[in-house]
Amino acid sequence: MLEDWTVIITACLVAASCSIIGCFLVLRKMAMVGDAISHAVLPGIVIAFMMGGKMGSWYLLVGAAAFGLITTFLIEFFNKKGGVQQDASIGVVFTSLFAIGIILISLYTRNVDLDQECVLYGDLDSVYLELQEPFFGFMIKPTIFQLLVLLLVISTLVIIGFRGLALTTFDPAYAATIGISVMAWHYVLMGAVSISTVISFNSVGAILVVAFLITPAATAYLISSKLIPMILLALLFGVTASFLGYLLAYKINGASSAAIATVLGLQFVVVFILKLFKDKIVLLNRNAGNR
């Protein structure tokens, strides 16, 4: 029973942080840059591991954030200076960095507590096995503690920087004229994506984290384009999918992270179809009214 709740709470925390960040990615048409970053932080994680870092250590955060920013920079560099078309630039950069990460893992597999499959879909179910450690007087599992801090940081960032983030998202030209640095917010957001990916890494892996980032935000976007309702809806979808996904994984005996990501996708499909029907009814009513 406690095991179930540990996994569900962990999943909810990952989903919450990722959904918030994801809304900005979707609105800025940067979903695939987010995807690229989540793959490309892998070498940063492995190098930090090799230098003796543990999951959640400062090494790891710095390494990952650095690689996240390097990715963004490289994509733009090859695109602007090298003349590689945007989509190909994203594809070439993240596959290269991810390949380097996997090679490093394979070469140093004896010294590093990482395996290739864990990289892809994490190990949500193992969070329960972690020993509890004291943080500020509370006994809590380290992964959960890190995720709580992440959620706190992300919410604070979005609340304090709401004006800057929103303006640079919806109207970058206007933001620039009133003196808000579009570039700075861009890199802040990319940094946030990198750090979320790293902290979520051992629970959901580098690839499935993309589902947590993009899918709830996309589902919410179908319902509302306004930022605040969109974020709240994305949170709702993320959290409910964590519950339902865990139940699914339990029923069919599969990986919880993958099951939750699947449910996130199914939520999108359901909302998408309902939206299609609604649009059709609206259209029919309008036609009937015109007659």
Partner 1 sequence: MNEHLNILDFILLREANVRYVVLGTMLLSVASSVIGCFALLRKRALVVDSISHSVLPGICLGFILSGTKDPLFLIVGAVITGWLSVYFIDIITRYSKIKADTAIGLNLSLFFAIGVLLLTVIQNSGNPNQAGLSDYLFGKAAAIVLSDLYVFGSLAVIIILAVVVFFKQFTLVSFDLHFAKTIGLPIKFYEFLLSILTVIAVAIGIQTVGVVLMAAMLITPAATAKYWTNDLRKMVVIAAVIGALSGVVGVFISYLFANMPTGPWIVLIFSMVAVFSIVFAPEKGIFAKYFRQKKNKKKMLEDNILKAFYKLGEHDGDFFKKRSAEELIMARKFKRSLLLKGLRSLRKLNLLTKVNDSFVLSRDGMAAGARITKIHRLWEIYLTKYLRVADDHVHDDAETIEHIITPDLEKRLEDLLQYPQEDPHNKQIPY
Residues of this chain that interact with partner 1 (CB under 8 A) are 26, 29-32, 34-35, 78, 81-85, 87-88, 90-92, 95-96, 98-100, 102-103, 106-107, 116-117, 120-121, 207-208, 210-211, 213-215, 217-218, 221-222, 225, 249, 252-255, 257-259, 261-262, 264-265, 268, 272, 275-276
Q: Which is nearer to partner 1, 177 or 253 (CB)?
A: 253
* Minimal distance, residue 220 CB to partner 1, in Å: 11
* Minimal distance, residue 102 CB to partner 1, in Å: 4
Q: Which is nearer to partner 1, 286 or 291 (CB)?
A: 286
* Minimal distance, residue 69 CB to partner 1, in Å: 19
Q: Which is nearer to partner 1, 108 or 135 (CB)?
A: 108
Q: Which is nearer to partner 1, 79 or 155 (CB)?
A: 79
Q: Which is nearer to partner 1, 50 or 148 (CB)?
A: 50
* Minimal distance, residue 9 CB to partner 1, in Å: 20
Q: Which is nearer to partner 1, 117 or 133 (CB)?
A: 117
* Minimal distance, residue 167 CB to partner 1, in Å: 20
Residue pair 46/114 in contact by the 8 Å Cβ criterion? yes
* Minimal distance, residue 225 CB to partner 1, in Å: 7
Report the alpha-carbon distance of residue 279 to residue 291 in Å, rounded.
19
